[in-house]
Amino acid sequence: MTFSLEYTVILENWNSKKQEVKDNDIYYFTLLDFKKYLNKRYLDLKSEQKEDVLNILKNESVEILDEYGIEGIARKLFDDNNGKNGLPRYDEFVLAFEKYSNLKKGSYKTETVDTVVHFHTNDTIYEVDSYEGKTAFLKAVIDDKSYDDICTMTNENIWSEIYIDAGIEKHIFLPRMFREWEIYWNKMIIPVIQRHHSGAISAT
């Protein structure tokens, strides 16, 4: 079962060995997410005991592509994946960008990456984020205990903002923050120091 995604990959963005786009292609994440979406949708339809599942998938995909082409896929997946976190819809990101950049459709290309939308012009890439997107990202990295991401992908000044937030009870926030710091120190920092120290002893 085949259908066109209405997108031609330029040669330098194509990995001929793996038969897939490279990660520098503007629709790399869209295609990756679409593959996951099709796999999940396939399993859902099978569990519902639907017949001719592949044809259903094709028709649904063609319907998504009908008006916007491959951008329609990016648009749908962005809204589906982020709606539960209260993010603005994809179209609202586009309207905001066009309003403040004075650019019109056709003079830029869009790239969706998790909770943000990148707008590519001839010489610049603009990243448009939202308060809801930042909140969802921060919640995810804290829930997953992705301490390195917290360190490298959050501005250090944000922690001062969080601390002075009148809605955060300090007697709850400070002990919890200290516990998380201890976990990070014990799991991430001390093992590195121990390995370094052990390596130094072996070297001598």
pLDDT (tens digit per residue) in 142-199: 888 777 777 777 777 777 777 787 778 888 888 888 888 787 777 766 666 666 555 5
Domain residue extents for the chain: 11-133, 157-204
The pLDDT of residue 14 is above 50: yes
Q: What is the value of pTM for the model shown?
A: 0.73
Average of per-residue pLDDT values in the chain: 86
pLDDT at 70: 92
For residue 23, give the nearest of 2, 40, 3, 9 by alpha carbon: 9
- Higher-pLDDT residue of 61, 174: 61
Provide mean pLDDT across the span 21-26: 91
The pLDDT of residue 96 is above 60: yes
pLDDT class of 31 with cuts at 50, 70, 90: very high
pLDDT class of 1 with cuts at 50, 70, 90: confident
Report the distance separating Cα 12 and Cα 14, nearest Å: 6
